[in-house]
Structure 1
Amino acid sequence: MSGSKKDQQRAARERLRAERDAAARKAKVRGRLLVSTAVVAALAVVGGAAWYIARPSADAAAAEGPLVRPAHTTGADGVVVPYGKAGSEHVLSIWLDPRCPYCAGVETGLGKTMKQQADAGTYRIEYHFASFLDGSLGGKGSKRALNALGAAVNESPEKFMEYLNVLYANHPEKETDDKFGSTATLLELADQVEGLRTPAFNKAVKELTYMPWVEKVSQQFYEQDINGTPTVLIDGKKIQVNSGKGIESISPGQFTKLVDEHIG
């Protein structure tokens, strides 16, 4: 491994730790403060001095709204998105951040194989998501993409799988590109999934309906102490799915061999 790559990985770990600390602080502050999101602006006069209270962003306001759990999700508050046969003996757990280019490499390289194996009953897939890149790099693409994915799984698990594949197939080359921060882009990409653009889906994407759910999903990443994305586990045992060649994943054949070795 080159020194440059080691430096990049070390920097990524440091960003992740910083984001975890920031999320913890945010949770504490949120527990102490209650700010009305209905107020656009207010002037409070205290001792003759005027204080300006700015309107929170649309994303922040939406995140403070009521929790709406998408259909077809499991776990506390629906933080897990399952795909496959509920009675499957084995579970493939996948942790992804929508803005993560390495996650895009895994989904585009192995997503089809994973779906086929889940359909065959080899295992059930459980998708978990993170949004730490929004905090590390700035922007809102991870969380807005997660909101759209929540709207997709609310339609059906199959629509979710198709839309997830479309998002990663159209992933920006650099994680610093906040492409998914645009709801117009997310809706445009949804046109590639037949039948996804229902009135309910469109409304949820535009109005950020699932943002409180996104916060719950994102927090689980920190609580489970996952070190980064993508992380893939079969029955709780981590398997390496990146090839080491840029963002490329291992081949479907190599992946299948790893799965066979772990489940017998």
Structure 2
Amino acid sequence: MSHTSEQNPMTATRRMRERRTRAARAARIRRRAVFAAAAAAAAAAALAGGAVIALGGTGAGHAAAGAPGPLLVPAHASGPDGTVVTYGKADAPHTLEVYEDLRCPFCAQLETRTGKAMQEPADNGTYKIEYHLATFLDDRLGGSGSRTALAAAAAALNEGVDKFKQFHDVLYANQPDEHKDTFADVNYLLELAARVPGLTTDSFIKAVREGTYAPWAAKVATAFHRSGVTGTPTVKLDGRSLEAFGSSGAVTPERFAELVKQAVA
């Protein structure tokens, strides 16, 4: 009898510990399930809406952290604090605002499918294009591809707006999978830049290799965050959203032309 009475307290303690362990394990499983469900819902919403949503950050913080040195604004930058790239005639009667992340696959789809149709009205003076660029995919996926590519694009802008536009188009035409941080490799960016006639000057190469415009890229990312735009690509004509990208992907060039015609009528 005395032997049984000595074991009971130990058995009760062991059972209590086991119950606590099971309860803690169940709580961890519930937390993981909630997180997984939220992540899945966010991904589904992004795919259905045709945009990458900046969940939990915009990239501005990482960009600032990785951007030592003085702030140098590239020549030909425009807008508030020189954080906008304007393509087209400055006195055009309308403005097309394009919000993009150079690492964003949805932006690449829009640019490769509809980009020429977007550029044509800027070339003929119907509107000017204002590019607002983000780096939030570096936050979401890790790496520095968005920031590094944006700093290289700034070096192209310093050479000329046309050089920026051509380099911008080459980047999207050769964009790696967003989960691969290939744009963080300056050698790859310089290889792509060589496809733009006259771009790879000594000053351009030096700026790309040294990250001269990394602080500017951080400032541009901060401006994107303050714009209130939460996903890319976002396209606005005279401040009103243009449905250039929907649940089935980027609109056709013909459909984009119709949207512009309706909006400026």
After TM superposition, the score normalised by the length of structure 1 is 0.79
Structure 1 residue 78: deviation in Å? Answer: 1.1
| Equivalent pair of 2:60/2:221 in contact (CA under 8 Å) | no
The 3-state SS of whatever aligns with 1:233 is strand
1:218 aligns with 2:218: no
Residues 8 and 156 from structure 1, CA distance in 2 versus in 1: closer, same or farther, beyond 3 angstroms? same
Structure 1 residue 243: deviation in Å? Answer: 4.5
Between Structure 1 and Structure 2, whose CA radius of gyration is higher? Answer: 2
| Pairing partner for 1:93 from 97, 100, 105 | 97
The 3-state SS of whatever aligns with 2:56 is helix
Structure 1 residue 14: deviation in Å? Answer: 10
| Equivalent pair of 1:15/1:136 in contact (CA under 8 Å) | no
Deviations 1:191-229, CA, capped at 9 Å, x for gaps? 110000001110110000001100110001111110110
Structure 1 residue 178: deviation in Å? Answer: 0.9
Residue number in structure 2 paired with 1:54: none
Residue number in structure 2 paired with 1:227: 230
Residue number in structure 1 paired with 2:12: none
* 1:150-229 alignment, distance < 5 Å: 150-172=154-176, 174-229=177-232
| Equivalent pair of 2:52/2:233 in contact (CA under 8 Å) | no
Structure 1 residue 179: deviation in Å? Answer: 1.2
1:104 & 1:163 partners in 2: Cα distance?
Answer: 13
The 3-state SS of whatever aligns with 1:150 is helix
RMSD: 2.4
Residues 228 and 7 from structure 1, CA distance in 2 versus in 1: closer, same or farther, beyond 3 angstroms? closer
1:77 aligns with 2:81: yes
Residues 15 and 238 from structure 1, CA distance in 2 versus in 1: closer, same or farther, beyond 3 angstroms? closer
* 1:40-55 alignment, distance < 5 Å: none
Structure 1 residue 64: deviation in Å? Answer: 2.5
1:17 aligns with 2:58: no
2:204 & 2:44 partners in 1: Cα distance?
Answer: 37
1:194 & 1:216 partners in 2: Cα distance?
Answer: 28
| Equivalent pair of 1:146/1:214 in contact (CA under 8 Å) | yes
The 3-state SS of whatever aligns with 1:17 is coil
Residues 23 and 112 from structure 1, CA distance in 2 versus in 1: closer, same or farther, beyond 3 angstroms? closer
Q: Mind listing any 5+ residue stretches in structure 1 that lack a counterpart? A: 31-58
Residue number in structure 2 paired with 1:253: 254
Structure 1 residue 17: deviation in Å? Answer: 3.4
Deviations 1:45-82, CA, capped at 9 Å, x for gaps? xxxxxxxxxxxxxx82xx12111001111123310000
Residues 23 and 202 from structure 1, CA distance in 2 versus in 1: closer, same or farther, beyond 3 angstroms? closer
The 3-state SS of whatever aligns with 1:226 is coil
| Pairing partner for 1:109 from 110, 113, 120 | 113
Higher relative contact order (CA 8 A, sep 6+): 2
Structure 1 residue 177: deviation in Å? Answer: 1.3
| Equivalent pair of 1:179/1:185 in contact (CA under 8 Å) | yes
Compare the two structures and name the one with the higher helix fraction: 2
Given residue 96 of structure 2, which amino acid in structure 1 is its aligned partner?
Answer: L
Residues 165 and 15 from structure 1, CA distance in 2 versus in 1: closer, same or farther, beyond 3 angstroms? closer
Given residue 193 of structure 1, which amino acid in structure 2 is its aligned partner?
Answer: V
1:244 & 1:182 partners in 2: Cα distance?
Answer: 32
2:152 & 2:44 partners in 1: Cα distance?
Answer: 29
Structure 1 residue 175: deviation in Å? Answer: 1.4
Residue number in structure 2 paired with 1:8: 43
Deviations 1:90-117, CA, capped at 9 Å, x for gaps? 0000000011000001111122122221
| Pairing partner for 1:242 from 245, 249, 255 | 245
